[in-house]
Amino acid sequence: MDVAAIQEEGEAMNWLVFVFALECGLLPNTGFAMYQPDLSYVLDAVGFYTDLEASVESFGFYVGGGMRNYFWKDREGTSFWPYQMTFRFDAGWRNDFLDIGFRHYCMHPVVPFLELTGAPVCEWEGAYEELFIRVHGRLPLIKGKGR
């Protein structure tokens, strides 16, 4: 039901909702490497990122993933330099208040950036996994009447 239909019927609308979650988990497999950058390649500038993700669900079960690309504006200001990718895979089961699942994250430097600039690898590389249980909910704090 859309907002207009709710307002027409005079049903209460939630104007302010408290959203909460508690998640506990286990990291069964981790491994990281942090490379020390050559300071001449480090930019003290605003960074950017993009996220792309997708998932499918059926009967409470889900599987999906995503990737995040971090990048800087280049020194001349004519293009952007991607320098780091983080990938995520997740699967599990969820309902209105409980989520039980598995996540895998892996981080990799972007090799074309390294070739273009001649810079050494300067970001995180590695992976970790999470087995988790998440309890979540929504509590309406302020309700209003429709028209």
pLDDT in tens, 63-99: 999 999 888 777 676 667 777 889 999 999 999 999 9
Query: Looking at residues 93-116, what average pLDDT do you find?
Result: 84
| pLDDT interval class at 5 (50, 70, 90) | low
Q: Six-digit token pair at 120?
A: 């050494």
Under DSSP, the state recorded for 41 is G
**pTM of the complete model:** 0.69
For 1-28, b/e burial (b = at least 16 CB within 10 A) is eeeeeeeeeeeeeeeeeeeeeeeeeeee
Question: How many angstroms separate the CA atoms of 141 and 52, rounded?
Answer: 33
